[in-house]
Amino acid sequence: MTTLHLFDLDGTLMFGSAAPVEISRQLGLTAEIAELERAFGAQEIGPHQFSVAAQSLWAGLTPEHVRTAFEGAPWLAGIREVWQEIRERGDYCAVISLSPSFFVELLLEWGAHTAHGSLFPEVPFTRPVDAAGILTPEGKVTVADRLCAQYGVNRGDCVAYGDSLTDLALFDAVPRSVAVNARPYLAERATHVYTGRDLREAYQLAAVARPRVEAS
């Protein structure tokens, strides 16, 4: 059986932080992004409003800022090793995040088969965010279904990894899930719960016990 592993980014692959926070840190805007994160977490604003406001904050953003934010972020240990193990088993790994695509897609360098984020214009920005390209929690399920079709699997073959309310729809859509350093309401809905800073340990909770597929 082929398995598709679906990873959230903010608070899941990244310990105690999020891509918008790390990006804003490079611009000295930690207080401003903290207020946006609070409003989003309280459901006072939605994904599109958050993205529009974040882009406005990031008017001076450069590719160098993005790369520095990515490289300095508090990632869990073992991400590359987990994705290599998934590939060696003949399985698939994908990242699906509401964070900006220009940040999320950098994880392709670490071995993810695919990475999907909210579609932002190229940095530095020359045009506004298009609402149609901003992912929602329900949109994560849509992306997962598209990936299932691409890789020849179905929802029953998926494992979701997440930490917060934005992962709830995906957790409800697939049979296996791992709550990683998660909010209590998500942990209650998960089939496995992990607290710690090593993705290898979280992955082992849901890893399929079968021989690896040898590369031809």
The share of the chain scoring above pLDDT 70, in percent, equals 96
Q: Predicted confidence band at 1 (pLDDT cuts at 50, 70, 90)?
A: confident
Taking a C-beta distance cutoff of 8 angstroms, is the pair 183, 165 a contact?
Answer: yes
Give yes or no for residue 208 having a pLDDT over 80.
no
Q: What is the CATH number of the domain that holds 120?
A: 3.40.50.1000
Domain of residue 171: give its range: 4-15+75-206
> Closest by alpha carbon to 76, among 52, 42, 36, 107?
107
Q: Determine which helix (DSSP H) or strand (DSSP E) holds 118, and give its type and residue range.
A: strand 114-118
Tens digit of each residue's pLDDT (9 = 90 or more) over 62-79: 999 999 999 999 999 999
> Closest by alpha carbon to 163, among 4, 17, 33, 43?
17
52 shares its domain with 150: no
**How many structural domains comprise the chain?**
2
Angle at 162 between CA 19 and CA 13, to 5 degrees: 45
